[in-house]
Chain A
Amino acid sequence: MARWGAFICDGTEVDAGSLAGEEVVVTTTLPPQPRELVCKLIGIWTRFDLDGGILIGAVPELVEQGLKESFRQAGLDPFRLVLVDLRGRDAVGKDREIKAALARARHLEPVAWTKAKAQQRVLIIGGGAAGLQTALGLRKLGLPVVIVEQEQNLGGRLTKLDGLCPWDEDPQGWIRSALEVLQRDSEVEILSASKPLALKGQVGDFTLEVQSPAGPITRRGGAVVLALGSTVRWPQSSGLEPGPHVVGLTRLDELTPIRLHYKKVAFLLDVDGLGSRLGTLSALRSALRIKDNWGSEVHILCRNLKVDGKPLESMYRKARDRGVVFFKYEELPRATEQREKILLQFKDPDLDNVVVDEAYDLIVLEEEILPAGEDLGRAWGVLQPANVHLYPVETNRKGIYMVGGCRDEMDFPGVIQDGTIAAGEIGALLGQGVLIYEEDRVRVETEKCVFCLTCVRLCPHQAAEIDLVKEAAFINPAACQACGMCAADCPAQAIDYKAYDNEGILAQLEMGGR
């Protein structure tokens, strides 16, 4: 007969006598302080050599996590402990909840634990500010890195910016000093002019195939960081094409350092209603630059200026003080070419909708900024939706992270923050060089599997794999996040989720009914 323990948190009004039963060999009250609670619980568990137990009382989520971790460290199975949180329940409710928990507990099977060696090297794809900052952070934690960059030079978008307002950071200087540190570090491998081809494996042991100038090579690593930056798209509906009098905002950074003689310049923002905060930022920065370097008259035309927060607000005010004129439009301005100039015709609702006619020497168009690398993400099954549970740098796949412009529209400080957070998370994951996970918490019963691949298609974490030898699905225990979706949808009922199997769930339903 199984040996069970019933543990009651002090202060929970539960009658210990109601818990007596044949298999309950010990009933104890535990102190409320988390540390003491955990120590006493584990002590008694070991002394009575229990098969399982229920812990009754309000256990906050954090204490629950700590408790499970301590169980693991003590070589016990945390899934054999059923928690019964009784907050919000009256006497009848408490009784029901305890009975249901006992019913479920009786169905729990032990789970086996594994400690597997993990690669500590981290594979970073993209050598822009986000990738470089992640690399710097990882090196501080002692983890080796490989940086794969498709261009000849590292630095990404930052190398193309003429200044980094409103932060007085010199973008080229930042890259130079980051590269100085990384290039003389023997644990940093930089593969430039290289493209990633395929990614295999799972958290702890990924293999990346890379097309390098020397031919195809492979690198192994325990985690992967996607730092792919952003791309821009020309706003077709503007009716304008790039030419001597029309440029995109991203091209403008190449022109502003040179002395040019455009007397009158207009920024046309937010063309398809797709304008962004970064576009506004960049336009304000460039407008000030033009005032300084070219001395031109500058107009900024927009639907709605995206100034949020202090830094942008003060840049906006500075631009006004320097004589930059702002116009609002609702209907897209009409553009016509007229002898070396572009004529814009528009109505400003703040100016009683009088038709404004202005001729410009240069029109600067705001492009749409899009995350880069969607194709890679799709090929590797990586998604980073703006999801509070994954926020900010985790993805649906364990051990794969997304940082910087490819994750969200982001300014320089945001990028630095992303890189730092990712390095910290990866350090926590791979710092010891081992991964600890439940080996058989969710498991395919090979003989029942009809190889329909439902689970492989369905698994949101890409943890269900194909085992061609056994002709069955296989759940990678390191990558599985135990959501149970595959167990619910397997048509052959071939997936066993120990902590949440059907018998346990149904037993709970039966119990509550009595």
Chain B
Amino acid sequence: MRIVVFCCENSAYQAARQVKLPAELDLIRLPCGGRVEVLHMLRAFEEGADGVLVLTCQEDNCQSLHGSARARNRVDYAREILQEIGMDPERLQWHPVTSNMGPRFQKIVADMIEGLKASA
């Protein structure tokens, strides 16, 4: 099962480095959640991802102020597209993860894998 995680290097990327990661997980390091595009998320599915996560800072604690909020909005928009083309929008999720939240990172990934298995 392939999971692609887009992560902000100020927060989720740091958190990822504190825990054990499943083998088939691809971390895409970004300078800020605000860099992620709908194109990137959709391409991840084209490239065989079963699930895609966009993990960024807390919305009120983004170094670039509204980067995290924009990431979330773009995820919402991409989820609508998934719905329209008949894919389960739950395969794409946004969550805030601060740099010291290793276990939370792990749990979000584990929950997604479990959810994907259940719906398969």
Residues of A within 8 A of B115 (CB): none
Please name the residue on chain A nearest to B98 by beta carbon: A388
Min C-beta distance of B27 to chain A, whole Å:
7
Taking CB atoms, residues of chain B closer than 8 Å to A100 are 26, 28
A10-B47 Cα distance, complex, nearest whole Å: 33
Q: Is B103 an interface residue, CB under 8 A from the partner?
A: no
Chain A residue nearest in CB terms to B44:
A509
- Scoring B residues 26 to 52 as 1 if CB is less than 8 Å from chain A, else 0, what string do you get? 111011101111011001100111000
Q: Across the interface, do B61 and A88 meet the contact criterion of CB distance under 8 Å?
A: no
Q: How far is the CB of B7 from chain A (nearest CB, A)?
A: 12
Q: Are B25 and A93 in contact (CB under 8 A)?
A: yes
Given A61-B14, A485-B70, CB of A513 within 8 Å of CB of B2? yes
* A interface residues, tally (CB under 8 Å): 40
Are A512 and B65 interface neighbours, CB within 8 A? no
Contact B31 A482 (CB under 8 A): yes
Chain B residues whose C-beta falls within 8 Å of the C-beta of A87 in the assembled complex: 17-18
A385 touches B30 (CB 8 A): no
Question: Is there contact, CB below 8 Å, between B61 and A389?
Answer: yes
Quote the shortest CB–CB distance from B69 to chain A (angstroms).
10
Comparing A138-146, A430-438, A500-508, the segment that makes contact with chain B is: A500-508
By a CB distance below 8 angstroms, the chain A residues around B18 are 87-88
Candidates A92, A461, A502, A512; contact of B47 at CB < 8 Å: A512
Q: What B residues does A97 contact at CB under 8 A?
A: 26-27
Q: Which of B19, B34, B60 is the one whose CB lies under 8 Å from A483?
A: B34
Nearest first, the 4 A-B pairs at minimum CB distance are A484-B35, A485-B34, A389-B63, A483-B32
Chain B residues within CB distance 8 Å of chain A:
2, 4, 10, 14, 16-28, 30-32, 34-37, 39-40, 43-44, 47-49, 57, 60-67, 70, 74
Q: Name 10 interchain pairs, CB-CB below 8 A, sorted by A.
A: A88-B19, A88-B20, A92-B24, A93-B22, A383-B65, A483-B63, A484-B30, A485-B70, A506-B40, A509-B49
Given A93-B22, A389-B61, A506-B43, list of 4 further CB < 8 A pairs?
A383-B65, A485-B64, A488-B70, A488-B74
